[in-house]
Structure 1
Amino acid sequence: MKRSVEAGQRFQVVDKTAYVWEVERVSDKHGIPHASLTRVGEATERRLVSVTILLDRGRYRPVAHQPPAPAAPGSSGSGSS
């Protein structure tokens, strides 16, 4: 199990899986590493969480990053008829 946190990693709160949080950056606040998180799909919603809490599998779980699906051929939206 990976025991460090890096920008780009994604997590969900264990009992609230509707939201995915992405690590924006990791900083050291007074000797305690913290991760700045941004909610995926809602960039204005942010949180600051200690890395220890983020790595506690009773509170957060890692989520694999899934890139957006490619557009289907012919669905460019050009509107030509």
Structure 2
Amino acid sequence: MSNKNVKDSVEVAAKSAQEQLDSLKTQLEQLLHDRINPALLEAADRADHAVANARELRDYQVHNVETRVRARPLAAILISAVVGFIAGRISK
């Protein structure tokens, strides 16, 4: 093979490789646009709903505890003292 033939073969191979890379790039962009981005958006939306539900549950539980403590303050103090005593004994 002559030097020119080798050079032409290398150029053809490089052009073919570049076309394949461009095709893969286009396919990847399409995949990201059609599949990955919507899935990520859906997952983020679900996470937002889960956080909102957890906050609502927390607020409900805090209100519930506040109501019980206000209804029976002495019982709440005694329960807290017993729990604190037991936790102190366990931690030694």
Q: Provide the TM-score with structure 2 as the length reference.
A: 0.16
Q: Give the structure, 1 or 2, with the largest relative contact order (CA under 8 Å, sep 6 or more).
A: 1
Q: Provide the TM-score with structure 1 as the length reference.
A: 0.17
Larger Rg: 2
**Which structure dedicates a bigger proportion of its chain to strand?**
1
